[in-house]
Amino acid sequence: MNLLFIILNVIALLVFVGVLIVMQKKRISFSKRVFTALGLGVALGLALNFIYGVTSETLASSIEWYNLIGTGYVKLLQMIVMPLVFISILGAFTKLTIGKNFGKMAAIILSILIGTTAIAAVVGISSAAIFDLNADQIVHGDAESARAEYIEGRSAEIADKTLPQQMIDLLPANPFLDFTGARSTSTIGVVIFAAFLGFAYLGVARKEVETAATIKKGIDAIYSLVMSVVKIVLRLTPYGILAIMARTVATSDFASIFNLGKFVIASYVALAIMFAIHLLIITLSGLNPITYMKKAAEPLLFAFTSRSSAGTLPININTQTNKLGVPEGIANFSGSFGLSIGQNGCAGVYPAMLAFMIAPSQGINPLDPMFILTVVAIVAISSFGVAGVGGGATFAAILVLSALNLPVALAGLLVSVEPLIDMGRTAVNVSGSMTAGVATAKLTGELDKEMFNAPIETQTVEA
């Protein structure tokens, strides 16, 4: 490990940070700065990968400094997730933007999230079949063996829960614990707690008008404070993307990616089809899919680089409410539920592809109609409670493979390409939650069509 080279690597990152700062001072648009950061991050990552190699100690030490910006930014986003979800949903009740349509809204959002996850399972199986994927094609190495042992260990912890137990886990026995994000279903717990308080507020408003007015004033004040924090953090997005992308590319094992190229290609084909299905849903809702795609680009790009649905939530909600014309209540519910329910990429495409690949090793015909129907049903049901952070796909795979009595350890064979595939999976997860929000707002007649159709040049995530 060479200290001089580490310093030079950090200086290289800081130079690119300086470029982004200059762009900001020249008032270059937020979108252009984000895409510039992506390009600079890829270029820097490729240079580091080529110069040092994946196993270099110098590179590993350099990446630790890069994480001050990249991981630090993601943690700041995660810091504001729970306060944002809680106060936004509670505020929606005080502004009467949920009220009588609450049941209909929640039903549509959940139907879209779970329905698209079932479709994602079919798409994943189809892609695996077309590319003739099989677990026997994958080379077993030390990293794969270690990953397999880890997955088997996690399987013993989570695979034995029944569906009723999983549904009970969604309820917030201790909402203050859920505010810490201690459980994989903490976000849903906070949503449920905020909804209970919201309905309680409506009850107070009917009987004690003055008390309700005082409560509303306090909630509005807290909401304004939280949104100010959100805006501050979002302004750091280009710098976060630069560091995250540089780290991701620099630490990618391109040799392993090449060896597993067919699986990577099959995965991205399936994910691309799912994104096309999201655009089809937008189209069937009577909206322009091109407009949606342009305005959703920034949160999808951040989801792709950060690999964190939870970290993307503030950008997701901000884009829905300030660019796509979705009411705050619907945006918060779709974004929050999308973190743990119906993740099309992690809980849909991925476990279904694994099930197809692993089935032949157990003497099962993966093209048997009953097997496919079983996989689709299990994927849809087990999509409840999948964590919206790194590792959610592994969690989903364990649940699905265990329910099918397939060896979960074989899921560890893809560890070398996990980061690359997880980028696409996370983007599709976020797209699914945004699609649910936009479509629900349109179906309930609450979408601001003027905002949705407004030129993107007049809008900004920083607004």
pLDDT in tens, 37-86: 989 999 999 999 999 888 888 988 999 999 999 999 888 888 888 898 88
Q: pLDDT below 70 — which residues of the chain?
A: 1, 96-100, 136-163, 166, 184, 256, 259, 385-392, 409-416, 457-463
Structure tokens, 183: 């459980």
Instruction: Supply the pLDDT for residue 136.
Output: 67
Task: Map out the domains of the chain with their CATH numbers.
Answer: 3-458 (1.10.3860.10)
pTM: 0.80
Instruction: Supply the pLDDT for residue 392.
Output: 62
- Residue located via tokens 């690597």: 9
Structure tokens, 308: 């964190």
Percent of the chain with pLDDT over 90: 36
Instruction: Supply the pLDDT for residue 140.
Output: 52
Bridge partners (DSSP) of residue 341 are: 384
Instruction: Supply the pLDDT for residue 248.
Output: 85
Beta-carbon-side half-sphere exposure of residue 218 (alpha carbons within 13 Å)? 7
Question: What whole-number distance in Å separates Cα of residue 416 and Cα of residue 254?
Answer: 9
Instruction: Supply the pLDDT for residue 463.
Output: 41
Structure tokens, 362: 């157990």
Beta-carbon-side half-sphere exposure of residue 104 (alpha carbons within 13 Å)? 13
- Residue located via tokens 């030390």: 142
Question: What whole-number distance in Å separates Cα of residue 339 and Cα of residue 311?
Answer: 10
Per DSSP, the residues of 207-274 read H-HHHHHHHHHHHHHHHHHHHHHHHHHHTTHHHHHHHHHHHHHHT--HHHHHHTHHHHHHHHHHHHHH
Question: Residues 438, 447: contact at Cβ < 8 Å?
Answer: yes
Question: What whole-number distance in Å separates Cα of residue 133 and Cα of residue 262?
Answer: 8
Beta-carbon-side half-sphere exposure of residue 58 (alpha carbons within 13 Å)? 16
Per DSSP, the residues of 257-298 read HHHTHHHHHHHHHHHHHHHHHHHHHHHHTTS-HHHHHHHTHH
Q: For the chain, how many residues are written?
A: 463
Instruction: Supply the pLDDT for residue 278.
Output: 96
Question: Residues 285, 410: contact at Cβ < 8 Å?
Answer: no
